[in-house]
Amino acid sequence: MTTSLSSSRAVTDREYRQIVEFLYHEAQLLDARQLDAWLELLSDDIEYRIVAPTVASAGASPPPSLVTFMEEDKGSLRTRVLQLTTPAYTVAENPPSFTRRFVANVVATGEGEAGQYAVCSNVLVYRSRGAALPPYLFCAQRQDTLRLVEGRWRIARRLVTLDEAVLGTRNLSLFF
Amino acid sequence: MKAQAMHAAGNGSTLDVATLVNEEEGWASHRIFTDPDIYALEVERIFNRCWLFLAHDTEIPHPGDYVLRRMSDEQVLVVRGEDGTVRAFLNSCRHRGAAVCRADAGNAKRFSCPYHAWTYDTQGRLLGTSFDQFYNRADFATLGLIPVAQLDTYAGLIFATWDPQAPSLREYLGDYAWYLDIFFRRTPGGMEVLGPPQRWVVETNWKIPALNFGTDTQHAVRAHYGPLAIGERYGGISTAALMQLCQYAPQVSCAHGHGCILIPFPAEMPDFCGFPAELAPLYRQTLQPAQYEFLRRMFTAVGTIFPYTSWIQPVLATVPDKPPAVFVSLRTWQPLGPHKIEVWSWYLAEREAPMEWKREARKTALQTFSMSGLFEEDDAEIWASITQATKGSIARHLPADFRAGFATAPLADFPGPGTAYPGLIPECEQFNLLRYWKRLMCQTA
CATH number of the domain bearing residue A121: 3.10.450.50
**H or E segment and range at residue B285:** helix B280-286
From residue B284, alpha-carbon distances to B184, B238, B288, B343, B441 in Å are 14, 30, 8, 34, 41
Per-residue pLDDT at A2: 53
Helices B428-441 + B12-20 axis angle, to 10: 180
- Exposure class string for A83-115: b at 16+ Cβ within 10 A, else e: bbbeeebbbbbbeebebebebeebebbbbeeee
Q: Which residues of B fall within a CB distance of 8 Å from A55? A: 102-105
Q: Are A171 and B223 inside 8 Å of each other by CB?
A: no
Task: Classify residue A175: in a domain, yes or no.
Answer: no
pLDDT (tens digit per residue) in A34-59: 999 999 999 999 999 999 999 999 99
- Write out the E strands in B12-98: 21-22, 27-29, 52-56, 65-71, 74-80, 86-90
Examine the pLDDT at A131 and tell me if it is beyond 80.
Answer: no
Shortest Cα–Cα distance, A55 to chain B (Å): 5
DSSP code string of A42-71: EEEEEEEEEEE-----TT-SSPPPPEEEEE
CB-closest option in B105, B363, B380 to A54 = B105
| pTM value > 0.90 | yes
Q: Is B166 on the interface with A (CB under 8 A)?
A: no
- CA B133 from chain centre, in angstroms, equals 47
Per-residue pLDDT at B15: 60
Task: Classify residue A96: in a domain, yes or no.
Answer: yes
Question: How far apart, in whole angstroms, are the C-alpha atoms of residue B395 and residue A84?
Answer: 31
Task: Classify residue A123: in a domain, yes or no.
Answer: yes
Per-residue pLDDT at B374: 96
Q: How many CB atoms lie within 10 A of CB B166?
A: 17
End-to-end C-alpha distance for chain A, whole angstroms:
18
Examine the pLDDT at A169 and tell me if it is beyond 70.
Answer: yes
Residue A113: half-sphere exposure toward Cβ, Cα within 13 Å: 4
Q: Are A64 and B106 inside 8 Å of each other by CB?
A: yes
Instruction: Report the DSSP beta bridge partners of residue B303.
Output: B260, B311
Task: Classify residue A172: in a domain, yes or no.
Answer: no
Q: Are B372 and A91 inside 8 Å of each other by CB?
A: no
Task: Classify residue A17: in a domain, yes or no.
Answer: yes
Shortest Cα–Cα distance, A63 to chain B (Å): 9
> How many beta-carbon contacts under 8 Å exist across A and B?
130
Phi-psi region of B257 (alpha: psi -120 to 50; beta: other; left: phi over 0): left
Domain residue limits at A16: 8-162
pLDDT (tens digit per residue) in B36-78: 999 999 999 999 999 999 999 999 999 999 999 999 999 999 9
Q: Are A90 and B226 inside 8 Å of each other by CB?
A: yes
Task: Classify residue A169: in a domain, yes or no.
Answer: no
Question: How far apart, in whole angstroms, are the C-alpha atoms of residue A140 and residue B4?
Answer: 45
In contact, A144 and A43? CB cutoff 8 Å: no
Give all domains of chain B, ordered by start, each with its CATH number: 52-165 (2.102.10.10), 174-441 (3.90.380.10)
Above 0.85 for ipTM, yes or no? yes
Residues of chain B below pLDDT 50: 1-12
In contact, B193 and B56? CB cutoff 8 Å: yes
Q: Are A75 and B226 inside 8 Å of each other by CB?
A: no
Task: Classify residue A94: in a domain, yes or no.
Answer: yes
Nearest residue of B to residue A86, measured between CA atoms: B226
Q: Is B380 on the interface with A (CB under 8 A)?
A: yes
Q: How many CB atoms lie within 10 A of CB B383?
A: 24
Total number of residues shown for chain B:
445
Nearest residue of B to residue A132, measured between CA atoms: B388
> What is the number of domains present in chain A?
1
Task: Classify residue A13: in a domain, yes or no.
Answer: yes
Whether the CA torsion B58, B62, B67, B72 is positive or negative: it is positive
